[in-house]
Amino acid sequence: MSRKTKLLIGAFAVVVMLISIWGTYKHISENFVYHDENHILVSTTGERMIAPDFTVFDIEREETTLSEHLGKKTVVSFWATWCTPCKLMLSNFNKVYKEMGNDVEFMMINLTDGMDETIEVASKHVKNSRLKVPVYYDLSYSAAHSYHVETLPLTIFIDENGYISNIHQGYLDKEQIEDYISSISNI
């Protein structure tokens, strides 16, 4: 491949990436606003939003969707092993899961790009950390795109009927996780 062709492909990739970033920014800025210093994102319209469905994979590479996990309070958290706050937060989710696991559905979604983040790297972290909280792998970034994930960690709290109750961008300690879960309601 010639240098000119490589440059054109690279330029095209940059343009596509910029369009994607702009689309994500536009969606977030039009539909959500930061509520306070705790980085809580809330709907700008005040209307409840149905949680977008997505497909992810378990460690055995079996498919599952968000909609299969709805019916009770659900927590979806996006993370990666290169994100230190994410790894610290996973242990907090693990503690809450051990206490509430039967009453709340947990989906810890690893952003698995296959290069920087692989199933092997992420599952090794899960095993070494002795995590019991359910971990899933977003191999095609379909879940990340559904929620316009720009930074990690990002956690979505969903009610029993599939509506987004809260979205939190950033680290959560154990008490904050418990508070968010207890505040999930079916208005």
Mean pLDDT of 152-165: 94
C-alpha count within 13 angstroms, C-beta hemisphere, residue 101 = 11
Mean pLDDT of 33-48: 53
The sheet carrying 104-111 orders its strands as 32-34, 40-43, 164-169, 154-158, 73-79, 104-111, 135-138, 55-57, 63-65
DSSP class of 66:
G
Q: What is the pLDDT of residue 7?
A: 66
- Summarised one tens digit per residue, pLDDT across range 174-183 is 999 999 999 9
Q: State the pairing for strand pair 104-111/73-79.
A: parallel
**Which band of pLDDT confidence, cut at 50, 70 and 90, is reported for residue 143?**
very high
Does the structure show a pLDDT above 50 at 37? no
- Of the candidate ranges 40-49, 72-81, 101-110, 117-126, the one whose mean pLDDT is the lowest: 40-49
Does the structure show a pLDDT above 80 at 9? no
Does the structure show a pLDDT above 60 at 6? yes
Q: What is the pLDDT of residue 44?
A: 56
Give me the phi and psi of 111, to 5 degrees please.
-80, 95
- Summarised one tens digit per residue, pLDDT across range 64-94 is 999 999 999 999 999 999 999 999 999 999 9
Q: State the pairing for strand pair 40-43/32-34.
A: antiparallel
